[in-house]
Amino acid sequence: MIESIYPHFPIMLVDDEVQALNSFEMVLRSASMNNFISCQESRDVIPLLSQQEIEVILLDLRMPHLSGEELLPIISSDFPEIPVIIITGANDVETAVKCMKLGASDYMVKPVEKNRLVTGVRRVIELRELQRENQLLRAQVLSEKLEHPEAFSEIVTNSASMRSIFQYIEAISISPQPLLITGETGVGKELVAKAVHSLSNRKGAFIPVNIAGLDDTVFADTLFGHCKGAFTGAEQTRSGLVEQASGGTLFLDEIGDLNTVSQVKLLRLLQDGEFFPLGSDVSKRSDARMVVATNQDLHALQESGTFRKDLYYRLCSHHIHIPPLRERREDLPFLMEHFLEKASKTLAKKKPTPPEELLTLLATYDFPGNIRELESMIFDVVSSHRSGKLSMEAFKSHIYQKHPTFEQDSRQLPSEKSTWISFSEQLPTLKQAELLLISETLRRSNNNQSIAALSLGISRQALNKRLKTTSQ
């Protein structure tokens, strides 16, 4: 089983008593922390800090040779970025106040309660991670450069909004905290999750699973595994995907479809880092990074009571929203070329030449299925293509299926009228409104009347008739 390193930089434990060092390490290891430097000799602290970066220091006050009270101001002065948590047997308010004034982040009295120690250390680590993310984001925004563009090679885009997302991914990739990816069907949520894993430097595997439609028993068995004899047919012990993703990333797609009983089990895993295989009374620990995705509105699901608010806030420590294709039409020419190349290789055909007006046609279409729909459309057209240029009619046929003609659809109004059109205080006449609509459609279609007619849901002849009428 591969174990990931957490936190990224070591936790330094400083105490002259070996028993205390071992006790602190054991408690923190139970909370999935495994990167430590133990220092029993206080005079070695400053040289060690000069040699490598440290995440946080747990410092005892009463030590021979060089006490914690003497070390603290030196650390605060020479290494101000490193938080120091004082752990001492001295339950003295005056000493505590003095230490906080000297720069200590926290003050704990021995014997320290397990939850108090874990919570205090985790809070400091998360704060440092957030500070590093903000610094990296600021640097990337100023430089407009990506540190690892190769990690995004599978995502074809020329969009400024997607580039901002890539910069954010680089900033949060090494964080062990859960990541929520939202966006419509077909925008490429799994590709983004893979990029996050690629940049995370985690040694384990990327394990994807679609949890839509899984009942609680199947969900628990899929994620947590089972022991031999746990249920009828369980002839041998089987590890779940959580265990298989150890040291790596577990990607749960369609998280909005998870039933409420399963939500409780997932919440427990996120809170405690522990899970129980079916049929077992012994818990197992997990250090897999959790990345989840959904095309649903989780806020609306919370309001309806079908998605737990505490689970939502656990999942969205980091959040990425991928814009739909209709909001980044500048990607269309790059995606079209990419899918034409891909379809040609897959179908063992010569790459066809697209008609000049194809991009204009595609730019007028909203693509409810987003990039996945564009890929399917191109593959379908290329599969039936014989020679020469691609057929515009094949693309028009697909769009006609999604946009019924005006005569077929004229009796229905859009369910969300406000998102389609807005009116000024003074209403236009019907003739004016028709002229404005036709003019805007022609502008978007680069004055291609065939494409404009398709967008308007009328025939080419009907558009010509209206153009003649409005010009008189």
Per-residue pLDDT reduced to its tens digit, 302-320: 999 999 999 999 999 999 9
Domains: count for the chain: 3
Any domain includes 123: yes
pLDDT score at 184: 96
Among 62-66, 71-75, 279-283, 396-400, where is mean pLDDT lowest? Answer: 396-400
| Contact between residue 211 and residue 256 where contact means Cβ atoms under 8 Å apart | no
Residue 193 CA to residue 169 CA, distance in Å, equals 9
If asked whether residues 304 and 344 sit together in one domain, one would say no
Which of 382, 402, 422 is at the close of a domain?
A: 402
Domain match, 195 and 289 both: yes
Q: Is residue 179 one of the residues assigned to a domain?
A: yes
Contacts of 375 (CB under 8 A, 6+ apart): 335, 339, 342
Specify whether 313 is located in the same domain as 335.
Answer: no
* 220, 161: one domain: yes
Is the domain of 335 the same as that of 299?
no
Residue 434 is predicted with a pLDDT of: 81
Domain match, 252 and 373 both: no
Q: Looking at the structure, do residues 314 and 352 belong to the same domain, yes or no?
A: no
Q: Which residue has the higher pLDDT, 326 or 452?
A: 326
Task: Looking at the structure, tell me whether residues 254 and 374 fall in a common domain.
Answer: no
Shared-domain flag, residues 169 and 291? yes
Give Cβ neighbours of residue 382 (< 8 Å, ≥ 6 apart).
340, 343, 344, 347, 349, 352, 390
| Helix ranges (DSSP H) in 273-424 | 298-303, 309-315, 332-346, 358-363, 370-384, 392-402, 406-409
In this prediction, residue 407 has a pLDDT band, given cuts at 50, 70 and 90, of very low
Of 190, 191, 206, 195, whose CA–CA distance to 245 is shortest? Answer: 206
What pLDDT is recorded for position 435? Answer: 83
By residue count, the chain amounts to 472
Sign of the alpha-carbon dihedral angle for 89, 91, 94, 97: positive
- Domain containing 367 equals 327-402
Q: Are 187 and 308 members of one domain?
A: yes
Q: What is the mean pLDDT of the chain?
A: 88
197 falls within a domain:
yes
Residues 196-215 pLDDT 10s = 999 998 999 999 999 998 99
Give the CATH number of the domain where residue 111 resides. 3.40.50.2300
| Torsion, Cα of 264, 266, 268, 271 (10° steps) | -130
DSSP string, 426-460: SPPPHHHHHHHHHHHHHHHTTT-HHHHHHHHTS-H
% of the chain exceeding 90 in pLDDT: 61
Please tell me the pTM assigned to this model: 0.76
Encode pLDDT of 137-164 as tens digits: 777 666 678 889 999 999 999 999 999 9
According to DSSP, the β-strands at 11-14 and 238-239 are unpaired
* CB 90 within 8 Å of CB 62: yes
